[in-house]
Chain A
Amino acid sequence: MPLVERLVGGHLAEKRGDRVCYLDADLGAVTYTGLYEAIRGYAGALRARGVQPGTRGVVVADDSVATVVAVLGLWWHGCTPVPVSHMLTEPEISFIVRDCAARFLHLDAPAAKQLALGARFAALPRLTGDEVRQAFQTGGPAAVGGGRRASEPASFPADAEVLVQYTSGSTGTPKGVRHGLTGIRAALDGFGSVLALTPEDVVLSTAKLSFGYGFGNSLLLPLAAGAGVILLRGGVDVYVLAAALRRHRPSVFFSVPRVYAALLDWTETGCGCDLESVRLCVSAGEHLPQELGERFHTTFGVPLLNGLGATEVVHIVVATRPERTTPGSLGLPVPGVTVTVRDAEGREVPDGAEGRLHVAGPSVMLGYLDRPESTARTLAECGAYTGDIAARAADGSIRYLCRADDLLNLGGFKVSPREIETAARRAHGVADCAVVGSVDANGLEQAIAYAVPSAGVSAEDLRRAITQALREHLAPFKRPARVEVLDALPVTSTGKVARFTLRAAAGRR
């Protein structure tokens, strides 16, 4: 069955077409029938623009129904959607458009960025989020794409690439993760069966569609179940969340430990945050410290499912079960997934021993786009290394320990310290700079930038210049928590920056 039929069309056949699938900031409630019509119109517009099936289309957008229509419209037409965050900088987005050899652009970004991207890729056919919204508002969903509805949705072969999601590489250059149709289906059958959403559920996710976790939360899993989704546009802070929780009363809430910590801190200052409607909270993206999980349970009394996933395996592959959410544990592999812990040579280590987390099963990616060496490092022993260090207990449950690589995990976003250093060095007056990971009061990883001023530059001027450069050249979620100025960076006996000394110093504060 084509993907769009499994996710949308099937609900029409089951007489659920009039149920709401999305609540959108601009379009209000959109039904499954409405979504189906809009996707069909979008696919018709792709055909009319001469977009060839089998090519890739980049979708630069915040969360909205227009974004979902673009992704599903590309699938209908037989193309591979490549969702990209509108918060990335224009050079980053341009890199991705070129890297994946995109033949189509869906643009729904802040005005200046959208204008620049439109000019840079003037030769590519495109549609905008505004065009989709306008059609919806003036002529209803059937007017999307100018009313040139496509006929049947395309069928992908089982081994075809159907989705490319970009993730940070160790040097900061993003890598495209290629997913096959089999992998997407496996995610629906795997974590989807643990979550067991029903058409009565309404989900809310703070992770956006342009990231693997959010794509599963707000598109794959709820649509497969015929559930409803609340889409949040713009920045997501505690106020936006508290207002959305109160107003839309979701039954399942997906977020990251960093946001759960912010909700707890805010609630403990006496501001009410209402999770009354929520039957299940899901935490993934970064490590959930045991204390934070326990504090959440005490304050809100809602089960908090703790999961571990990776872009390379589509979504969550290890998770505690909704009925048994043991704080501190990651629980068990989801159905269809085999998880082992392995040493540097790829051999399994005994239960209880630390090692590299290895995931095998049909949700493992096809590979990185045009990165054979990275692919060979990650895809080995008939599965994928997630880049996490973990241990397995005798009962099969998994305990997370740390990252295996240099990447920082900032609220679920993997960020290379080198990428932050490069952006910081663009400020005037930087003689030296190093970025290290540290742990905040909630036990969550944060980045600290240490910098040394050039001669004649004051510490305060340098700190301010770096802060400004980071704001200009890095997406908000990649920015370090603090910038600190030192007279010199500590070095090892071989003359390299002593990052461990900096990490220790960062931890003492």
Chain B
Amino acid sequence: MSTVHDQAISERLRGIVASVLEIDEDAVPPAALFYEDLAADSLEKVEIAARVERAFGVRLSAGDAVQLRSVNDAVALLRRKGVATGPAEGGR
């Protein structure tokens, strides 16, 4: 279920990941795994999680953050957290 809203969230997340890892957004495919494919280290992963919390105004438990393995995972996680059903999708 990919919506326009998910698309926007995905773009924003790619921006966050690119900024933390100091790479181009083009180098962050939505399915790329932070550790395995993008060679992130544990501090960068923690920074990504913290910036996701700030950008979307959510609180992530350790269990949530463990599931934050790629941009796609993050979109799914934010949707479960209710972020994807914001005003842009009002009425649904």
Chain A: residues with CB nearer than 8 A to chain B?
110, 234-240, 242-243, 246, 262, 266, 271, 464, 467-468, 471-472, 476-477, 479
**Is B39 interfacial (CB 8 A cutoff)?**
yes
Please measure, in the bound complex, the distance between the C-alpha atom of A238 and the C-alpha atom of B63, giving whole angstroms.
11
CB distance from B77 to the nearest CB of A (A): 12
Q: Is the CB of A468 within 8 A of B66?
A: no
Q: Is the CB of B36 within 8 A of A239?
A: no
A110-B36, A243-B62 as given contacts; A235 in contact with B42, CB under 8 Å: yes
**Is B76 interfacial (CB 8 A cutoff)?**
no
CB distance from B27 to the nearest CB of A (A): 9
- Which residue of B is nearest A110, CB measured? B36
A262-B42, A467-B22 as given contacts; A271 in contact with B62, CB under 8 Å: yes
| Interchain residue pairs with CB less than 8 A apart (18) | A110-B36, A110-B37, A234-B35, A235-B35, A235-B41, A237-B65, A238-B46, A238-B62, A239-B45, A239-B63, A243-B66, A262-B46, A468-B23, A471-B23, A471-B39, A472-B39, A477-B41, A479-B41
**Is B83 interfacial (CB 8 A cutoff)?**
no
Q: How large is the interface on B (under 10, 10 to 19, 20 to 34, 35 or more residues)?
A: 20 to 34
Please measure, in the bound complex, the distance between the C-alpha atom of A377 and the C-alpha atom of B3, giving whole angstroms.
64
B23, B34, B65, B68 pick with most chain A CB within 10 angstroms? B65
Please measure, in the bound complex, the distance between the C-alpha atom of A468 and the C-alpha atom of B37, giving whole angstroms.
14
**CB neighbours of B46 from chain A (8 A):** 237-239, 262, 266
CB distance from A64 to the nearest CB of B (A): 14
**CB neighbours of A262 from chain B (8 A):** 42-43, 46
Q: Is the CB of A246 within 8 A of B35?
A: no
- Which residue of B is nearest A273, CB measured? B62
- Which residue of A is nearest B46, CB measured? A237
Please measure, in the bound complex, the distance between the C-alpha atom of A237 and the C-alpha atom of B43, giving whole angstroms.
7
Q: Is the CB of A234 within 8 A of B41?
A: no
- Which residues of chain B in 1-60 are interfacial with respect to chain A, using CB atoms and an 8 Å cutoff? 21-23, 34-37, 39-43, 45-46, 49
Please measure, in the bound complex, the distance between the C-alpha atom of A246 and the C-alpha atom of B41, giving whole angstroms.
23
Q: Is the CB of B42 within 8 A of A237?
A: yes
CB distance from A19 to the nearest CB of B (A): 27
Please measure, in the bound complex, the distance between the C-alpha atom of A476 and the C-alpha atom of B41, giving whole angstroms.
6
Contact of B22 among A240, A243, A468 (CB under 8 A): A468
A464-B22, A467-B22 as given contacts; A239 in contact with B49, CB under 8 Å: yes
Q: Is the CB of B62 within 8 A of A234?
A: no
CB distance from A16 to the nearest CB of B (A): 32
Q: Is the CB of A235 within 8 A of B62?
A: no
Contact of B21 among A240, A471, A477 (CB under 8 A): A471
Please measure, in the bound complex, the distance between the C-alpha atom of A394 and the C-alpha atom of B11, giving whole angstroms.
63
**CB neighbours of B40 from chain A (8 A):** 235, 476
Please measure, in the bound complex, the distance between the C-alpha atom of A471 and the C-alpha atom of B27, giving whole angstroms.
13
- Which residue of B is nearest A472, CB measured? B39
Please measure, in the bound complex, the distance between the C-alpha atom of A276 and the C-alpha atom of B35, giving whole angstroms.
29
A238-B46, A239-B65, A242-B62 as given contacts; A476 in contact with B39, CB under 8 Å: yes
**CB neighbours of A235 from chain B (8 A):** 34-35, 40-42, 45
Q: Is the CB of A239 within 8 A of B62?
A: yes
Q: Is the CB of B22 within 8 A of A246?
A: no
CB distance from A276 to the nearest CB of B (A): 15
CB distance from A34 to the nearest CB of B (A): 26
Please measure, in the bound complex, the distance between the C-alpha atom of A405 and the C-alpha atom of B8, giving whole angstroms.
51
CB distance from A206 to the nearest CB of B (A): 9
Please measure, in the bound complex, the distance between the C-alpha atom of A236 and the C-alpha atom of B43, giving whole angstroms.
10
**CB neighbours of A464 from chain B (8 A):** 22
CB distance from B60 to the nearest CB of A (A): 8
Please measure, in the bound complex, the distance between the C-alpha atom of A240 and the C-alpha atom of B69, giving whole angstroms.
11
CB distance from B22 to the nearest CB of A (A): 5
Please measure, in the bound complex, the distance between the C-alpha atom of A254 and the C-alpha atom of B39, giving whole angstroms.
24
CB distance from A357 to the nearest CB of B (A): 29
**CB neighbours of B43 from chain A (8 A):** 237, 262
**CB neighbours of A468 from chain B (8 A):** 22-23
Please measure, in the bound complex, the distance between the C-alpha atom of A3 and the C-alpha atom of B21, giving whole angstroms.
44
Please measure, in the bound complex, the distance between the C-alpha atom of A28 and the C-alpha atom of B45, giving whole angstroms.
25
**CB neighbours of B35 from chain A (8 A):** 234-235
Q: Is the CB of B36 within 8 A of A234?
A: yes
Please measure, in the bound complex, the distance between the C-alpha atom of A237 and the C-alpha atom of B68, giving whole angstroms.
12
**CB neighbours of A237 from chain B (8 A):** 42-43, 45-46, 65
A239, A243, A464 pick with most chain B CB within 10 angstroms? A239
CB distance from A9 to the nearest CB of B (A): 35
A110-B37, A468-B22, A471-B21 as given contacts; A236 in contact with B42, CB under 8 Å: yes
